Amino acid sequence: MDKCAFFVPVFVFLLPLLSYAFSRKRKRHEQKTKLPPGSMGWPCIGETLRLYSQDPNVFFSTRHTRYGEIFKTHILGCPCVMLASPDAARFVLVTQAHLFKPTYPKSKEILIGPSALFFHQGEYHMRLRKLVQGSMYPESLRKLVTGIEALTVSALSSRADGRVINTYNEMKRLSFEVGILAVFGYLEPHYKEELKKNYIIVDRGYNSFPTNLPGTPYRKAMKARKRLSEILVNITRERKEKKLLEKDLLSCLLNSKDDNGEILSEEQIADNIIGVLFAAQDTTASAMTWIIKYLYDSPKLLEAVKAEQKVIYESNGNGKSPLTWYQTRNMPFSYKVILESLRMASIISFTFREAVTDVEYKGCLIPKGWKVMPLFRNIHHNPEFFADPQKFDPTRFEGAPKPNTFMPFGSGVHACPGNELAKLEMLILVHHLTSQFRYELVGSESGIQYGPFPVPLHGLPASFWKEE
Ligand code: HEM
């Protein structure tokens, strides 16, 4: 008898039995591993309105208190699992990172450029990540100190006439300039102006409603993004012709070859440059704005920082010699102020991943396709890890925090490759601000606005003066 003639009827008979057995097994698995506690809110809209009608930190922390370290919700059209413990964050970001992919709204991916590293996992992501990290090694950052210092002094001096300014906007201008410096090294002024002009339009559209209707900020941003690509292609081609041996990001991207000797395309280079500029600007600007606020609110701490910085300033002949890399590595109290500002403000309050398969964590099921959000801010503000968490106290960083409890720059395969550059910018700002300037915050209103990162209300209106 033909083998098939025997096996086919047996298979046809067994198939329903097998599928029944498998479905029972899956059901048993689902029963054993239940969804985490929490509310999915109303049909379709879930808890989105609740999230938007209150401070997002209150939204997350009330649920954290009610349900514990892992809970479910439904926001922005997606079922989500929130994770508010160091172990859970480590599980998603480090030990089981391959089970969770980065996820961003399509509209944002289109504006930044789909080849930017943070939209990817695996080999391409690792290759690009190494290139960005390579351009941020100490030997590269060391060369940026004088340039960052010049940009910082110019930013502070140009506003030090007592008029009221929006501090966040000024910090955004500064962090953009520093981003350009880190990516291109020296860049001809006409290119810089063109990049700035179009980048501002993309930035405005980034958080607007993503519709392609004529006249909308999103449509304008798409057009400006196209122009940015054209400018970047011109800069890249010129750089190739000059064959410069620089260590900035553009050179690292241009000189990279994969295992098969393939170079990166012009589009991949442009997407990653814009991605890095985006990742660098608002985050660092927000952190610097918070540092200015926290220091103003704590006159004793401001005095202690001033004392540390004045010694350095005077040893440089009252600013006649430039700040050195070594000096930026030796500002222990100011450094702790920066760490505490990053903890208090928790600029990236949480991040998003998506489960690529059903995952079990401590008896809870995280179903495939659900969003997963490690809540950095909840961990940074948990009294179990940081005593009296609402108090601004830099001395808490005299000892190292418990493992996985302090993640202002994330953790694992997508952790921030720009963290040393960001800290360098903040230290240089603190040095010049406190050794040569004084400032006053304007207005009595205090609070936080989200754009989308937390920023003091109205961008922290303030007046600055140069000290005589
Ligand atoms: C205070 C300033 C900054 C903060 C708080 C910050 C925070 C973070 C965090 C939390 C992540 C991880 C996000 C995730 O896991 O989903 C991240 C990723 C990233 N950051 Fe930063 N960042 C800052 C400044 C910078 C700067 C100056 C650069 C410029 C080089 C930069 C470039 C990046 C890039 C390229 C990624 C994606 C890394 C990857 O996917 O592998 N960031 N940042």
Digit-coded pLDDT (tens) for 288-313: 999 999 999 999 999 999 999 999 99
**pLDDT at residue 48, rounded to an integer:** 84
| Ranges 26-35, 52-61, 245-254: which has the least confidence | 26-35
Rounded Cα gap, residues 74 and 39, in angstroms: 8
The residue count for the chain: 468
Query: Is 270 in a helix, a strand, or coil?
Result: helix
Rounded Cα gap, residues 179 and 147, in angstroms: 11
**pLDDT at residue 267, rounded to an integer:** 95
Q: What is the CA(283)–ligand 1 centre distance, in A?
A: 8
Ligand 1 atom closest to 415 (CA): 12
Q: What is the CA(281)–ligand 1 centre distance, in A?
A: 10
Q: What is the CA(349)–ligand 1 centre distance, in A?
A: 13
Assigned token pair, 143: 């060369």
Q: What is the CA(376)–ligand 1 centre distance, in A?
A: 14
Q: Which residue, judged by its Cα, is nearest atom 21 of ligand 1?
A: 416
Rounded Cα gap, residues 410 and 351, in angstroms: 8
Answer whether 301's CB lies under 8 Å from 295's CB.
yes
Q: Which of 123, 283, 286 to mutate to test the pocket of ligand 1 (most atoms within 8 A of CB)?
A: 283
Q: What is the CA(441)–ligand 1 centre distance, in A?
A: 29
**pLDDT at residue 76, rounded to an integer:** 82
Task: Please indicate if the annotation marks 4 as binding a ligand.
Answer: no
CB-defined site of ligand 1, < 6 Å: 117-118, 129, 132, 276, 279-280, 283-284, 287, 347-348, 351, 408-410, 414-418, 421-422
Assigned token pair, 336: 């702790």
Q: In the predicted model, is pLDDT for residue 82 greater than 80? A: yes
Q: In the predicted model, is pLDDT for residue 170 greater than 70? A: yes
Ligand 1 atom closest to 93 (CA): 15
Grade residue 13 by pLDDT with cuts at 50, 70 and 90: very low
Contacts for 384 with CB less than 8 Å, ≥ 6 apart: none
Is the preceding peptide bond at 322 cis, omega within 30 degrees of 0? no
Domain assignments of the chain as residue spans, ordered by start: 33-105+347-380
Q: In the predicted model, is pLDDT for residue 12 greater than 70? A: no
Q: Which residue has the higher pLDDT, 143 or 22?
A: 143
Query: Is 89 in a helix, a strand, or coil?
Result: helix
Q: Which of 416, 424, 453 to mutate to test the pocket of ligand 1 (most atoms within 8 A of CB)?
A: 416
Strands 371-374 and 353-355: antiparallel
CB atoms within 10 A of CB 381: 21
Select the CATH number that applies to the domain covering 33-105+347-380 from these four: 3.90.550.10, 3.10.20.30, 3.30.43.20, 1.20.140.160.
Answer: 3.30.43.20
Start-end of H helices in 162-211: 167-184, 189-206
Answer whether 295's CB lies under 8 Å from 302's CB.
yes
